[in-house]
Amino acid sequence: MGSKSKAALLILLAVLGIAAGGGTAHADGAPAGADIQVAQTLGARELTVIIRRVDTTPSPLRVDVVTHQGTAPGTLHLAVAAGGVSSSRADVVLGATPGVYAGNLQVDKPGPWELSLDDGAGPRATIPFIVPARVVPPWEKATYGGFVAAGAFLLIALLVGVRARRTAYALIPGAGVVAALAVAVTGALLSASTPPPPAPGSQLDPTFDNVTDPYANARLSTVDYSRPPVNLAVEARQSDLKLRLTDGATGRPVDDLLVHDNALVHLVMVSPSGRLSHLHPVRVGPGDFRVRLADPEAGTYAVAAELARRGGGVQLARSTVDLKGSAAPAPEPPGPGPRTIDGTPVDLTISPGTPTTITAHFPAQDLQPWLGMLGHLIVTGPFTGPAGEGAAKAPTWAHVHAMVPPVVGQLDRPDETVAAYGPDVSFTYTFAEPGRYRTWLQAERGFRVLTVPAVVDVPTTGAAR
């Protein structure tokens, strides 16, 4: 073999080495999938369900269930299904001590799935989620395809150069080598600026085809960014409330909700006397959500449902519901100052101004994230008179967050097992007009969600006190 043939053979081996040694790359430069945290008010239990990330299939699926103070022990039946076909089942035994209880299931293919939870005492909850697929982006196909084609053309050029009487014939496959390398290099150079594919579930409808090949199905017609608001109807059914969510244009059940701030629906209810309930109804079917309100007061409740639709953004739907019950009314809450909530001393301070800063000081730096946040502040007003009817008619209804401090290198939000935040939880809010407001500040400590009610009087100058 001549020196030219040896050199060509070395080039061939180098090209094939580049093509074969690239390894597996992720389309977005990071592992696909992430933990999904979904709050669920399942009967009398307030749970946080954590669906752990899955990178490949078939694979085990770990589901962690976080319980809170007051959660009754019992057995929770879990199951996963794809396309209505059940894949695996598992039981999670919830103990009397609040904390994390784990279950292990199995998923065997990428695509849209549903996790069901059943405690045997009420409606079965279903949580839609997506098992991601390994997606090869177009630039990666062009890069590796170009290198492989260059290797093939180079091999042909070698054979032609060795066997043909006229070496000029080798120029023809040689031109193929140059063209293939140009395609490969161009694909590699464009990889940094190539956008990731539309995300199935949040941007594309979560079908099997969209999950396995989002580039092929990324057409404008599949993404609707002008979906109308959701209509909310609340119906009292014995001990449960039924929430019916319908599309404002078609009247059809809404089944395109996204997990927003760790829940499909955040349901905030204000009782006739001003007692706050922050619940997370379970999905029992398309547009059909159920929640149990333990020991209600008799009278009119203000209802607000915060949710996010695919292509429709975050929405707040408000309504009222009349309930029968025998619970004693809550006392009028104080303004700023110290108080004790469920055995925990809390000092609430309000720094007047525009905007206003509201801070709760807890005893120690041991607060836990709840719904992905350090704290929540519900604001409604201005109004006078009964709290339920007043909150229902109030022009302002706001939900403000205190964010968890970011941690370098941590992609997912910390779950409730991390008790290392506080002791101060601060919120900044601008009251739109003067008057008397009701506020409820919420934070989690010792697996107990603490609710701190307060009255805030905003004078005409804009300062709160």
CA distance 441 to 362: 12
Average pLDDT score over residue span 409-424: 81
Q: State the Cα–Cα distance between residues 345 and 422, nearest whole angstrom.
A: 14
Q: What is the pLDDT of residue 340?
A: 96
Q: Are residues 179 and 102 in the same domain?
A: no
Of 323, 350, 367, the residue that ends a domain is 323
The secondary structure of 101-140 as a DSSP string is EEEEEEE-SSEEEEEEEE-SSSPPEEEEEEE------HHH
Domain contains 454:
yes
CA gap 405, 419 in Å, rounded: 13
Give the pLDDT of residue 32. 43
In total, the chain counts a number of residues equal to 465
Average pLDDT over residues 8-20: 42
- In this model, does residue 219 exceed pLDDT 70? no
Higher pLDDT pick, 137 / 348: 348
Task: Supply the CATH number for residue 275's domain.
Answer: 2.60.40.1220
Cβ distance 350 to 456 under 8 Å?
yes
Identify whether residues 21 and 150 lie together within a single domain: yes
pLDDT of residue 26: 30
Of residues 57, 58, 37, the one with CA closest to residue 48: 37
How open is the CA angle 420-424-426, to the nearest 5 degrees?
A: 120
CATH number at residue 379: 2.60.40.10
pLDDT on residue 191:
74
Range of the domain at 43: 36-131
Q: How far is CA 42 from CA 39, 49, 124, 232, in A?
A: 9, 11, 8, 20
Point out the least confidently predicted range of 78-82, 85-89, 395-399, 423-427: 85-89
- Which range (144-158, 178-192, 206-220, 256-270) has the least confidence? 206-220
pLDDT tens digits for range 301-341 = 999 999 999 888 899 999 999 999 999 999 999 999 999 99
Q: How far apart are CA 421 and CA 365, in angstroms?
A: 5
Task: Supply the pLDDT for residue 40.
Answer: 97
Among 1-10, 174-183, 321-330, 393-402, the range scoring the smallest mean pLDDT is 1-10
In a domain, 181, yes or no: yes
The verdict on 53 and 164 lying in the same domain is no
Domain assignment of residue 209, yes or no:
no
Asked whether residue 200 is domain-assigned, the answer is: no
Q: Of residues 34 and 435, which shows the higher confidence score?
A: 435
Inside any domain, residue 207: no
Residue 284 is assigned to a structural domain of this protein: yes
Q: Which of 137-141, 166-170, 201-205 has the lowest mean pLDDT?
A: 166-170
- 205-209, 218-222, 277-281: which is most confident: 277-281
Closest by alpha carbon to 66, among 43, 99, 39, 36? 99
- Full-model pTM: 0.83
- Asked which of 100-109, 126-135, 186-195, 313-322 is least confident by mean pLDDT, the reply is 186-195
Among 20-29, 217-226, 298-307, name the most confident range. Answer: 298-307
Instruction: Give CA–CA dist 192/28, Å, rounded.
Output: 10
The per-residue pLDDT for range 63-118, each reduced to its tens digit, is: 999 999 989 999 999 999 998 888 899 999 999 999 999 999 999 999 999 999 99
Confirm whether 48 is domain-assigned: yes
Q: Answer yes or no: are the C-beta atoms of 422 and 439 closer than 8 Å.
A: no
Whether residues 127 and 143 share a domain: the answer is: no
Rounded CA-CA distance 138/309 in Å is 29
20-29, 162-171, 351-360: which range is least confident on average?
Answer: 20-29
pLDDT computed for residue 217 by the predictor: 63
Q: CATH number of the domain that 118 lies in?
A: 2.60.40.1930
- Residue with the larger pLDDT of the pair 140 and 57: 57
* Residue 222 belongs to a domain: no
Going by pLDDT thresholds of 50, 70 and 90, the confidence category of residue 365 is very high
**Is the per-residue pLDDT at 235 higher than 50?**
yes
Question: How far apart are the C-alpha atoms of 105 and 146, rounded to whole Å?
Answer: 41
pLDDT of 252 reads 94
Question: Do residue 118 and residue 253 come from a single domain?
Answer: no
Question: Count of domains in the chain?
Answer: 4
